[in-house]
Amino acid sequence: MLGKKRPPRPSSGKSGLTRKPETPKRQADDALLTIERLAHDGRGIAHDAAGKTVFVEKALTGERVEVAVHTTRKRFDEAHVKRRLTDAETRVMPPCPYFERCGGCDLQHMNVAAQRAHKQTVVRELLARQGVALGDIELIAGAPAHYRRRARLGVKLDAGGNVLLGFRAQGSHHLIDIAQCHVLVPELSALLTPLKALLGRLEAPRLVGHLEVIKPDGASVVLVRQLKAHAGDAAAWRAFAKEQGVRVGAFVGREERTLEWYVEPPVLEDPLEFAHSSVRLGFAPGDFLQVNAEANQRMVERVLGWLAPTLAATPAPKVMDLFAGIGNFSVPLALKGAHVQAVEGSPVMVARMADNAERNGVSLAAEQADLSDAARVRALFEGLDEPCCVVLDPPRDGAEAVCRALGERPVKQVAYISCDPATLARDAALLVNAGYRVRYAAVADMFVHTAHVETLLLFEHAG
């Protein structure tokens, strides 16, 4: 979008600078700047003639750029590039034609190796700021494109009544209509055009809030957010399912979100293949599912590898899997012979995990608990047998209550899988200050072409 004005973009919260209330947008303040380094969200960082920090969208380290400031804050400005005078060596032509407008990806202008190096740097810097030094950071990578097996697609009708289907623009509610996607798995990307054609034929397209597309092991699945039942459109979806060989279901109603399958319900399964075993995890719409199957497989293998010496011990060790979801780590750990105690906040997923243990012929103890509740977490750790490993894979908020409890009641090893390096850094400092050290570190490139960073750390307790 060179040379065009952009809407203001919200602060990512990852820049290290606190977000302040926005001052009114000022007139474009064009300037020539040199990008000094990348911020954690992938934007270029430069300083203007007065020394003020400027975050520049889609500009890379070393590039000389003419920018237009679109948002002014007290401590920094936010700008976009009007003209690039030089290109960084890491710059590539974005592989997706929608990249400049679509908010689904933010790093396609960098080569994939540079994206991965950037993510390793983000993790190293954020942990260093909390006093946690990392040695080598391994890279766990899957395919550099067409990896995403689940996505929510916005649906909108424009002023002319044309259907738009796609992702929102960066920092805006504006929907970008797409006919293909570089990160969706091919089966889901290929559905975009037929889906849009079908939406255009519906009698009441405004009753569709959004679509969710999922590619499990078998046929692709389309879930329609149907704000009100509509018999004619349900028939159209049934015909679509038949034509395309996909399964279609709908969450019907504004308040009551009951799922109705328009065709035979699919068997939703996530397969994991290991050297001497394979695992099939059942899941349902609404359950947590790692979006990148290949990177997830490698991530689970890596955690099992890190814990292998402990898992090989006799008698079999006890392993707690916290934030366990549908059993992505718990079931493979149980297959390795560990006594697994799995804890998850969602009762539905706890039940699914118990089913998954049964379907894979292993036993584990699955229980529901809120792991942000310090008293509940402390109670979980009371009476824990030694030696014990803990696997924890929290949401973006991190696992502060768990890490405080692990400080008071140390265990031999903690494998921490994180989707937010900032909360990971906070929690890592809690563990290190309580006598743990980082034995291994890895970055899994789960979300190629986006600034999201998935990190794996193995902590060991000195005592």
Residues 381 to 440: which contact ligand SAM by CB under 6 A?
A: 393-395, 419
**In the complex with ligand SAM, which residue's Cβ is closer, 183 or 444?**
444
**In the complex with ligand SAM, which residue's Cβ is closer, 155 or 419?**
419
Neighbour tally for 437: CB within 10 Å: 13
Residues 313 to 342: which contact ligand SAM by CB under 6 A?
A: 323-325, 328-329
Q: Least Å distance between CB 325 and ligand SAM?
A: 3
282 scored as a contact of ligand SAM (CB under 6 A): no
**In the complex with ligand SAM, which residue's Cβ is closer, 120 or 290?**
290
442 scored as a contact of ligand SAM (CB under 6 A): no
Among 42, 103, 332, 345, binds ligand SAM (CB under 6 A): 345
Closest CA to 57 of 113, 111, 5, 126: 5
Out of 105, 389, 403, 419, the active site residue is 419
349 scored as a contact of ligand SAM (CB under 6 A): yes
**In the complex with ligand SAM, which residue's Cβ is closer, 104 or 327?**
327
Task: Clarify whether 105 is annotated catalytic.
Answer: no
Cβ–Cβ < 8 Å for 56, 33: yes
Alpha-carbon distance of 304 to 140, in angstroms, equals 14
Strand ranges, E, within 202-327: 208-214, 221-226, 247-252, 258-261, 269-273, 278-282, 318-322
Q: Is residue 288 part of an annotated ligand binding site? A: no
Cis peptide before 410 (omega within 30 of 0): no
Closest CA to 112 of 82, 146, 81, 136: 146
Contact region with ligand SAM (CB under 6 A), list: 4-12, 77-85, 98-106, 367-375: 367-375
Q: Is residue 240 part of an annotated ligand binding site? A: no
Radius of gyration from C-alpha coordinates of the chain: 24
Question: Cα-flanking dihedrals φ and ψ of residue 49, to 5°?
Answer: -60, -25
Distance of alpha carbon 326 from the chain centroid: 16
Neighbour tally for 375: CB within 10 Å: 9
Strands 278-282 and 269-273 turn out to be: antiparallel
Among 126, 371, 434, 453, binds ligand SAM (CB under 6 A): 371
Contact region with ligand SAM (CB under 6 A), list: 26-34, 80-88, 153-161, 369-377: 369-377
Binding residues for S-adenosyl-L-methionine: 290, 323, 344, 393
The residues binding ligand SAM (CB under 6 A) are 288, 290, 323-325, 328-329, 344-346, 349, 370-372, 393-395, 419
State the catalytic residues: 419
